[in-house]
């Protein structure tokens, strides 16, 4: 089965995600309207500017439909997408979809060293992974049901929680497709929401 995975195409690097998903064996669908979410097996929330995403989503009831989708269907948020998924956002506090049991601090690396490329080990097989950071947030706290797949300076940079995957870096901007393949596998496995209290 080839899964149909949407990429929220409001702003940011959605084309790179669509390409990465296709290379990882999925069909990629650009999503610009709430009704386009129906029939999708999963969704990617790309990087960009989370405040801009929120402004757009607050129109036309998109935010409510999206919140419903991400609470049950496999969703992968990168950078601003990770901020949107998080339960708590700091610096400054802002609204979010609130499904990922994590606290995320925006623009946590300061202005001078805000963008960089690092190579680090992850829980994914195949050796070290290139990680592109662009004005990246920092995951400062995670719930007990969040599995950390990679860290930078002791802070999680790639995490999963039931049907959710989130990274503070941009895997779509590297040639390595392991992170997108991992997400496609999550979709194919029909990953379900974790029950935090179980």
Give catalytic residue positions.
Answer: 79, 170, 172
The count of residues interacting with ligand GLN (CB under 6 A) is 11
Of these, 26, 66, 80, 186, which contacts ligand GLN (CB under 6 A)?
80
Among 22, 67, 135, 178, the residue binding ligand GLN under the rule CB under 6 A is: 135
| Contact status: 50 vs ligand GLN (CB under 6 A) | yes
Torsion-angle region of 14 (φ positive above 0: left; ψ -120 to 50: alpha; else: beta): alpha
180 near ligand GLN (CB under 6 A): no
20 makes contact with ligand GLN (CB under 6 A):
no
Orientation of helix 50-57 relative to helix 62-72, angle to 10°: 110
Element (H, E) at 66: helix 62-72
48: left (phi over 0), alpha (psi -120 to 50) or beta: left
Query: Which of 83, 97, 158, 166 is the binder for ligand GLN (CB under 6 A)?
Result: 83
Q: Does residue 77 belong to the site contacting ligand GLN (CB under 6 A)?
A: no
Is position 118 an interface residue for ligand GLN (rule: CB under 6 A)?
Answer: no
Name every residue whose Cβ is closer than 8 Å to that of residue 131 and which is 6 or more positions away in sequence: 117, 118, 119, 120, 150, 152, 157, 167, 169, 170, 171, 174
Beta bridge pairs of residue 90: 105
Q: Is 85 in contact with 71 (CB distance < 8 Å)?
A: no
For ligand GLN, the binding residues in 22-41 under the rule CB under 6 A are: none
Our finding on whether 104 is near ligand GLN (CB under 6 A) is no
Judged by the rule CB under 6 A, the positions of this chain that interact with ligand GLN are 47-50, 79-80, 83, 106-107, 134-135
């Amino acid at each position: 089965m080839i899964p149909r995975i949407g990429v929220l195409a409001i702003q940011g690097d959605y084309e790179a995600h669509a390409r990465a998903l296709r290379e990882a064996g999925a069909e990629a669908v650009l999503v610009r309207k709430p009704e386009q979410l129906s029939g999708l097996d999963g969704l990617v929330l790309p990087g960009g500017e989370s405040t801009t995403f929120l402004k757009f989503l607050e129109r036309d009831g998109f935010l409510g439909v999206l919140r419903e989708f991400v609470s049950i269907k496999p969703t992968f948020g990168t950078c601003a997408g990770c901020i949107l998924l998080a339960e708590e956002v700091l610096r400054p506090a802002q609204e979010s979809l609130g499904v990922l049991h994590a606290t995320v601090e925006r623009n946590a690396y300061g202005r001078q060293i805000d963008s960089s490329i690092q190579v680090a080990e992850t829980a994914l097989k195949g050796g070290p992974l290139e990680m592109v950071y662009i004005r990246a947030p920092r995951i400062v706290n995670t719930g007990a049901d969040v599995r950390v797949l990679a860290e930078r300076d002791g802070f999680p940079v790639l995490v999963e929680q039931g049907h959710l995957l989130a990274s503070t870096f941009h895997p779509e901007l590297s040639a390595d497709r392991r992170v997108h393949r991992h997400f496609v596998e999550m979709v194919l496995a029909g990953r379900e929401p974790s029950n935090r209290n179980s």
